[in-house]
A and B are shown apart, each in its own frame.
Chain A
Amino acid sequence: MARHVVGRVSDIPDGGRLLVDLQGHSVGIFHVRGRYYALLNRCPHMGAELCRGSILGRLDAAVPGEFSYDDSRSLLRCPWHGWEYDLETGQSYFDSRARSYPVDVEGGEALRPQVEDGSAAPIDEANHAQAAVGLPSARLQPGPYVAETYPIEIEDDYVVVTLPGPARR
């Protein structure tokens, strides 16, 4: 298990997302109405960058024209062929499943000692720069960044993604 601090809570506005490289994998982190989700940025169908798709509510109908729309369940729609994946579980409407990862929000005060003792990886500068590219809904400013500008501030809240396997630094 490897825990990665990917940004401040304020870095990802509601409806926004970050794309970051973690342990050599591209991962999308999403914020939908106070909840955070993380998915591997690779569609299990044919490998598209899944996390660049649109976020939609769950739409069903028992009979034509009688819709039930549930936006408490967010689906990510792949930009290539439109398959829909549950943001929380990665399960597609049909029969495939995208890789999803646990996301936590943690206060800086609790997080700082973990970053210092190496049990949580700090925010990666290169990641932050990349995250802003092509994702207008994430209000990050692209670099340049100065090294060591990401100390964990105790008054801030941070988004932490947990990947299986040891961290590769």
Chain B
Amino acid sequence: MELALEQGTVTGGWTGDVVDVDVHVNVPSVDVLRPYLAPQWLEWIGEIGFSAPPSLVTKYPAGSSITCAPRWLPADGRAPSSELSVVREHVLEPLGVERAVLNCYWGLDCMRNPDFAAALASAVNDWLIEEWLEHDDRLRASLIVPAHDPAAAAREIDRVGGHPGFVQVFLPLWSPMPYGNRTWLPLWEAIDRRGLVAGIHYGGSSQGPTTTTGWATWFLEEHASAVPMAWQQLTSLLGEGLFQRFPQLRVSLLETGFTWLGPLLWRLDKEWKGLRREVPWVDRLPSEILREHVRISIQPIGAGPAEDFRRVVDWMGSDEVLMFGSDYPHGHTQDVGRLLEVLSPSACARLMADNARAQYSL
């Protein structure tokens, strides 16, 4: 009964079609990747005693309910969300999911050995194909890349990006350089070439501190600073003219919340009117460009009192921006009903399925 109730809050009592754009898959241990690694790397894993990339510890502390809600923690000590049968039982069946996009964040961004990082990224992608995508038609996935190495990332996108199960490239929200920077062009060219979505998702690391002004002390700070990071990355994509270079480009922001979007668009429009000469390629209102190219998954919802929340949602100025994502198994889920109740019925249907279908050509 209690589980059923909690599951009701994941989709807010919605009974129509459901496309879930943010279902997490975890690499339970490096052992599952062994079949996909070259012998030299198998030996290297033993030599250095490698078990997992260390940045996972700060972005998703193992014991935190944000990393896994207690109700989704396997009782037998297995890693959360690391087997298809579990994901079917917890998400795909109870929510009646038509399509789900799997996101596997493993913290590869903090690996300093560029060749090992690239080999691990390839192994994770091969594991996603073999153990997940090939076994359930409902599944799609983001492919992961060694996100500190634009050229290697582009090679990986070209290597597996043609697989029909991959609809997106996972880009960690924290990056050594804002994603609009020209340093990243090989990555964007590959994403564009393969017609994939760029999914900027909570996680990652810069070459420096965890916030844009220095080191955060607490997980609370680091977790909440996803909001300014998302703000920064969108501003970079816009200012650097990514959407003029790649007119077909689609970007998803995942697990960054969305209540900040209205104020950001407003501010960008305002500043653009006086500063557009700096960035003459930004040839129309930033809000128009971003509403056309960017979609956002709903969690963490950040719903306040209904009246205030309605205003925040209206301020986004479009009902085509939000996409439902359960964010399974993360535990910062707010009742989706809080969001659905401030939307019109047609906007609810867009949010729960149509916007994601369009974004990912599902």
Contacts and interface: CB of A to CB of B under 8 A. Distances in A.
Interface of A: 56, 59-64, 67, 77-78, 81-84, 93-94
Contacts of A61: 241, 244, 280-281
Nearest to B276: A93
A62 B277 contact: no
B274 interface: yes
Q: Which 5 A-B pairs have the closest CB atoms?
A: A82-B274, A64-B241, A61-B280, A61-B281, A81-B274
Nearest to A92: B273
Interface string B243-260: 011000000000000000
Interface in B54-111: none
Contacts of A94: 273, 285
A81 B245 contact: no
Contacts of A82: 273-275, 277
A59 B273 contact: no
Contact of B273 (A62, A64, A67, A83): A83
Contacts of A62: 244, 281
B240 interface: yes
B283 interface: yes
B125 to A, nearest CB: 30
Interface residues of B, number: 15
A70 to B, nearest CB: 11
User: Which residue, B240, B274, B276, has most C-beta atoms of chain A within 10 A?
Assistant: B274
A82 B182 CA distance: 27
Contacts of B283: 60
A59 B280 contact: yes
A82 B271 CA distance: 9
Nearest to B280: A61
Nearest to B269: A94
B245 A63 contact: yes
Contacts of B273: 81-83, 93-94
Nearest to A75: B277
A27 B241 CA distance: 38
User: Which residue, A64, A67, A94, has most C-beta atoms of chain B within 10 A?
Assistant: A64
A94 B285 CA distance: 8
A169 B69 CA distance: 80
Nearest to A78: B274
Contact of B244 (A56, A59, A63, A83): A63
A63 B281 CA distance: 5
B249 to A, nearest CB: 13
Interface in B269-302: 273-277, 279-281, 283, 285
Nearest to A94: B273
Contacts of B240: 64
B274 A67 contact: no
B154 to A, nearest CB: 19
